[in-house]
Amino acid sequence: MPKVSESHKERRKQAIVDAAEEVFLGKGYQLATVDDIALRSGLSVGALYRYFSTKSEIMLTLLEQRLGRTPGLLQRLTEGEASPWERISRCVDIFVLALRVRHPSTGRLLLVAWGEALQDVSVREGLRRRFRGLLEYLESVIRQGIVEGEFQPGADARVLGSLLICLADGVTLYWSANTPELELHRIRTTVMAMLRAYLLRADNSGEETM
């Protein structure tokens, strides 16, 4: 029997993950079965089990690919900004832009993952890793702003970073549910006003433009 190349294995594994996303979003995680995923991917159940031992393992890989890379991506997209305030502003802009143009499945996947996190410890830990990665970056930017004198010395970097993540995820979930009351431009304007009032020192408060 010819040896299967690593690239072939990766393509098959990715096909399973892509199929799982469609199945999870279509049926929900609890109702989805490994048979459903195998059928959607075009593989046999036996072939699927060569790559993933459980449905939960597939979900964790999917979360890592679709959501877990967000911290590193956010850092790369904002590292060119000159100051901590500009990086925080850029983070808000990236979030708003992502909601406007990103494939809607991302928010729906987050919704499915949160529902399953109540029951599945591994899924819950996957979401926690994502949260910790985002918090580590946001907290570091805010602390840098404090050290450089751009931000108020009493600003709580960890709490503010946590609140920003929770706010972003909450808006994402309601946006995924097509909530008509959400007006992204007004949300962006209000969030920036709150951040400016809380973070910027008095001598820096006029630097940001809307």
pLDDT (tens digit, 9 = 90+) per residue, 20-61? 999 998 888 889 999 999 999 999 999 999 999 999 899 989
Tokens of 111: 């919704």
In this prediction the pTM is 0.82
Q: How far apart are CA 137 and CA 94, in angstroms?
A: 15
Q: Show the domains of the chain with their CATH numbers.
A: 6-53 (1.10.10.60), 64-204 (1.10.357.10)
The pLDDT value given to residue 75 = 87
pLDDT of 149 strictly over 90: yes
Confirm if 146 and 152 have CB atoms less than 8 A apart.
yes
Exposure string for 6-19, b = 16+ CB within 10 A, e = fewer: eeeeeebbebbbeb
Q: Which residues of 168-177 are buried (b: 16+ CB within 10 A; e: fewer)?
A: bbebbeebbe
Identify the pLDDT of residue 210: 40
pLDDT at 1: 46
